[in-house]
Structure 1
């Protein structure tokens, strides 16, 4: 699908989201529709968990994984709600999940940090949780390019007006600390409770896609034959702008904001020496601990 063909689709999505936020009857209708399908799915399928939860670092492949989980037969997205308060960190209590119908199977994703409120919900609702992260350098590149094409982003206007190198350096300094902490906080939680949390990296997913998806399913207690997993992969990847076979091509041409930074190691094409030193200072230890570097002697 060309970028021109995607524009009307994106516009339609924005209109629908506006309707959901402004009109309660639209949200109720969507919840009713989702609930009916939920009853049908729960009668037809028997899975050990009704909710598959993802705590995904932004630009770490979490949308890709989310599409995969929603494509499992019987699973669907939950009813759409106004999530603006959640996105701002103002609402992490049971009300976030209360909109989910009592029957059916659902896949949910959040970019939220490992707050005590969210961890309490995970335990209270017995939510097996998948954590996804990425080399923070590549993540920062992908995040920057997303901001450049997203008018709703805080720094959209600033970054499109500044010289590119200056804008990119500002984006690194602004974001590196919270994203570094996001990774560390979730990994600490997962280390303490490996039966509740599973951790995957974007690099693992990109290199061994089938094997990683199979492991994810087993973590959620879902055992499917290989051919079924592969068919789900095709459906899921088509939802994220392409097919499994075209992933490498998407990365090569940089198709779509979510895949603009899809290459591993692409940060070398964007970082300045100043950027390298900043990341070493703020996240160098993490890069070594996670196996992305052997020591501090890395550079462009």
Structure 2
């Protein structure tokens, strides 16, 4: 008889014999017997397809506003022999129902939202006969931590690495929530000049607009006309003094960048303390080895010259785009890979508008403000 059948029979026996629990407690009180029982249960679980995952030494999360180099950093770190960083787990964002910029109309889900929003989970937890319905929030926090750990451990088991992380767009606004579940985690916040973020985001939305096959972003007719005019004659468009933004969109982008970057800095510093590291996209671009060395030191990973070079090569713009850095391809996710491009694109109106909305935050983050 296999272990699974034995466990099923034990369940039946327990239901029929009120002294079963006392017998189990007596057996488990003996250290050797307890180890044998746990080993048998684990073997049965493996036989029934329950994954146990792998153990990690350090967990970290990459935060950063969209188009700020988070994908570049993730790819670079994942090339390290000790670091595994998945794509976008979207684990956190319990109250993150929709983007504040309504270009993507569908709900933005997350693992914490899926668990916390489950009415069936709440009902099940409150069943009077299970005897654990007294602290739903505490149990929910533990369930989230165990669930995220399960997926992170799968990545550890798959890669054999000891440092595991995740980069997701929601992290920048949800470091306080991450701290609820992972107060022991490390956070890397990558910041980029908000005006470059705005330029890059607009190109990204043009490329993924809903009027194109597979596109998801809903842009206004005016924005679509601007896109088509720009792509048809970039030099002529810019020389004419036209802006790639409508004023409403630029204000949205400025508000979003200012709010998220500021909140991430405040929450990261206050909650994580020395486990929070802030780096700048521009520094990573200007002196990649030195900036990457800081990140690896922060994570407790090896920092030899050969390892650093391997990571840089894997994440290089040339490798991921098959173009030289600075060569623009408006149809690529990796469009240009430079800093300061906003100066070539922003009109006088754009500079004024962005400065009105986010000028103070630009100065706070160390950028030249209007």
State the TM-score, normalizing by the size of structure 1: 0.70
Aligned with 1:65 (options 69, 73, 92): 73
How far off is 1:223 after superposition? 2.5
How far off is 1:140 after superposition? 0.3
How far off is 1:258 after superposition? 3.6
Aligned with 2:300 (options 221, 224, 235): 221
- The DSSP-based 3-state class of the residue aligned with 1:200 is strand
Cα distance in 2 for partners of 1:263, 1:55 equals 20
How far off is 1:144 after superposition? 0.5
How far off is 1:52 after superposition? 3.1
State the TM-score, normalizing by the size of structure 2: 0.58
Cα distance in 2 for partners of 1:65, 1:80 equals 13
Cα distance in 1 for partners of 2:313, 2:83 equals 16
Structure 1 position 168 matched with structure 2 position 176: no
How far off is 1:265 after superposition? 1.6
Structure 1 position 276 matched with structure 2 position 351: yes
Cα distance in 2 for partners of 1:140, 1:268 equals 12
Structure 1 position 237 matched with structure 2 position 316: yes
Structure 1 position 91 matched with structure 2 position 113: no
Cα deviations across residues 79-116 of structure 1 (Å, max 9, x unaligned)? Answer: 98788987845436325554333654433101213333
How far off is 1:215 after superposition? 0.7
Structure 1 position 155 matched with structure 2 position 218: yes
How far off is 1:167 after superposition? 5.2
Q: Is the alpha carbon distance of 1:79 and 1:279 closer, same or farther for their aligned partners in structure 2, counting shifts above 3 Å?
A: closer
Aligned with 1:100 (options 126, 147, 152): 152
- The DSSP-based 3-state class of the residue aligned with 2:152 is coil
Structure 1 position 114 matched with structure 2 position 114: no
Q: Which structure 1 residue ranges, 5 or more long, are not aligned? A: 1-31
Q: Is the alpha carbon distance of 1:74 and 1:223 closer, same or farther for their aligned partners in structure 2, counting shifts above 3 Å?
A: closer
- For the 8 Å contact 1:144–1:171, the answer to whether it is kept is no
How do 1:8-157 residues align onto structure 2 when only pairs under 5 Å count?
39=54, 48-49=57-58, 51-78=59-86, 88=98, 89-91=108-110, 93=112, 94=144, 95-96=147-148, 98-101=150-153, 103-104=156-157, 105=161, 106-112=164-170, 113-115=172-174, 116-123=176-183, 126-151=184-209, 152-156=215-219
Cα distance in 1 for partners of 2:91, 2:80 equals 24
How far off is 1:53 after superposition? 1.6
Aligned residues: 248
Cα distance in 2 for partners of 1:79, 1:62 equals 10
Cα distance in 1 for partners of 2:366, 2:317 equals 31
Structure 1 position 266 matched with structure 2 position 341: yes
How far off is 1:146 after superposition? 0.8
Cα deviations across residues 106-148 of structure 1 (Å, max 9, x unaligned)? Answer: 331012133332331231xx21110011100111001101111
How far off is 1:54 after superposition? 0.5
- For the 8 Å contact 1:250–1:259, the answer to whether it is kept is no
Cα distance in 1 for partners of 2:79, 2:309 equals 11
Q: Is the alpha carbon distance of 1:143 and 1:73 closer, same or farther for their aligned partners in structure 2, counting shifts above 3 Å?
A: same
Q: Is the alpha carbon distance of 1:205 and 1:238 closer, same or farther for their aligned partners in structure 2, counting shifts above 3 Å?
A: closer
Q: Which structure 2 residue ranges, 5 or more long, are not aligned? A: 1-48, 99-107, 113-143, 210-214, 231-241
How far off is 1:153 after superposition? 4.0
- The DSSP-based 3-state class of the residue aligned with 1:264 is coil
How far off is 1:189 after superposition? 2.1
- The DSSP-based 3-state class of the residue aligned with 1:108 is strand
Aligned with 1:257 (options 293, 309, 332): 332
Higher Rg = 2
- For the 8 Å contact 2:68–2:191, the answer to whether it is kept is yes
